Structure 1
Amino acid sequence: MPEADSFPFQGSTYLGPDPRFAQWRASQPVVRVATRSGGHAWLVTRYEDVRAAAADPRLSREAAYAPGAAQFDGLFQPPPGMVASLDPPAHTRLRRVADQAFSPARIEAMRPRIRQTADDLLDDWAGKTPPIDLMAQFASPLALTVICELLGAPLDDRERFHGWVRQLAVVDGGQEAAAQAQAQLGEYIAGLVAAKRQRPGDDVLSALAGAGHAGDRLTDQELVVFGWTLLGAGFDSTAGQIGLSVLALLAHYPQQWKRLHAHSEEIPSTVEELLRGVNIHRSDTSGLPRIAMADIEIGGQVIPAGDAVFLAFTSANHDETVFADPRRLDFARDAPNLAFGHGIHHCLGAPLARIELCVALERLTQRFPGLCLAVAEPQLRWRVGDVNHTLLELPVAWPAPLSTATKE
């Protein structure tokens, strides 16, 4: 199979997966594909098969880090030791401690502060002449501020975090810069962990440092890895999803944008449909391989032990047997999506990401009901070689001066 047809594919966009996934869902739901690194892997494409595989303990994340395990070009592989990189029992222990720190009450308590941060950023638009870059002037600083407060890190360090995470997100080339950024970020978080050990604060990193029972608390290195995880997933993915969601609404569903101004109670269901239908993953998967620890049958296909398996969550979210007319955003859908995964590796930060997305749409639609793209969609610029579909910028404008009448 030539490189152009090797996984990850080139036909993926923010509006949906590569078109060949639809063909595979219909006729070959578990398909063996060549990879850019010269090997092969299996793609699981249907909703029910992806759900089942995500919960199957015979598919190991940890084995992807074993000596001699296959490496995959064009995909982001997080460092070993992250909760997403482990199997039980190590995963069970880390997840149990993390769940204590990420309690629903703690995460929900962040909502007012997230709303205030969003309004502060939008206040800054009042003295500016459109167009405004929504990514640089809203989505990125909102997500970065939330992560800084989550970690108890100084807000003045936001730009440093931004630079490090942007370097880490490049998967096509730039490995030397990514390794340097990983080392610098690890050193920074190690210092932050040491400070939290001595003087805990009212933040999640301090809570993680104190969570667990005697003899079961996280080590300094485990805390560093958790901090690394929160920055990578909590900032870049959330900021990217905010930008893509706004783009999808303004470019293709402007009436829904206007409707949310009058019906803010519909924002949570709108966010769920955007999570389902808007594709942040450039590879149409999470990019995290699982290794079959035994011969496994999925969707009628036997996958040999030792082979790599990728779960195509974006394809599953476009499965026609679950979501009618899947490429159309239907804001009245009620079928659960797999945007945050399933099983033991379901995204730890999903509740916080949902709050940030809801708050972002709430404040933007309340204060800017007439928001529109300032350039035609084909003129938008995208980052090249990134792990995600990431906008370089999202220029927006509005037809009338900013009104603060609706600000709460």
Structure 2
Amino acid sequence: MSARLRPIAAVAAIGVVALALAGCVPNPRATGASTALDVKVADDSCEVSASTAKSGTVTFRIANTGTDVNEFEILADDKLRIVGEKENITPGQTVSYVAQLNPGTYYTACKFQQVGQPVGLASFTVSGEEIESDASEKKQISAAVTNYVAYIKSQVGALVPATKAFTDAYRNGDDATARTLFASTRVAYERIEPTAEAFGDLDPKIDYREVDADAEGLDWTGFHRIEKDLWPPAAGDKNSDGTDALAGWAASTPAERAQFADGLVADVAQLSELVNAKDFTVGIADISNGAIGLLDEVATGKIEGEEDWWSHTDLTDFAANVEGAHVAYGIVRDIAKNKDADGAKLVKTIDARFDDLEAELAKYGSIDGGFTPYDEVTDSQRKELSDAVNALGKPLSQLTHTVLGVKKA
């Protein structure tokens, strides 16, 4: 987290209206086939009766045979962006969910108790012609808001149990396990960090670095306080600002570990309560600005190795920021593309720059498989990563102006 970044506005209310890709209500003027599929949901499985469909209206008949509430999701080809979902399917209940799907690769999954990682993730291919739609920009915006709010909730839903597992290991002195969980636990948070930044002091509690907390006179808590315990400095080591790493710091006692663990769990739980509140929403500018802000996080902290100073897991945070930015951009992409010729040109450029940056990152690993420790990445390699970030940052900075139809001065 960079203390130089400011929160985005969090609650600019926009009415929620479904659009074809949002998968809620079909457009009566849309063209395409009509498909009906069965979905069998259990606590540990999610089975769709077919893995293909024709473009157009797809009806999913979802039966929950499990022991608790579940939800059904349709994900985009990045396996992150939610393009449709049916929540709150109770045990024994069968519900119908209608989606309008254009050709492309999607993924279906369920989420037991509506938290944690997707269950039964499976490829779902839609073939045929593009759907003709009379959807207005207002409906596109409403659908974008619906989809991004769903994405935020999904990521926080994964963050809650991951944080509990990580802090349990730390609290119990199982540092080896906690170290293996540190980077992966942070992924969901880093994908949606601008949302947490919008809630006042939550991001400082969860994700401030030592130098940020000191600069603002705050108690230092959260992930990075725990990180320093898990990778303790030695004599002569320096903090990211060049000060003595041991000055004013000592390894936490078991009681202090319990306090830091409880605090982080409570703060993440509060974030979950806030994003799941009935009145939680975002504005369309928040989505596009979120994409820009996430890339700024990379440019102002991760690229210098300042974020995860002791663990050197910066590239995982880097990749999560980029993924989150790509998802946010993907949700408003068509709005920008359909503005005018300049919007279409901008989208083409951003698409290419995302591909370049993700290819550059892939040289060092992946979120699932792990990344090269950042202290092993040479200065010249960091320069190549920085160049790719900057090449994307320039066109991406124009996204909000394009989405809102405002010419940039």
Name the structure with the higher strand share: 2
TM superposition score normalised by structure 1: 0.26
User: TM-score when scaled to structure 2?
Assistant: 0.26
Whose RCO is larger (CA < 8 A, sep 6+)? 1
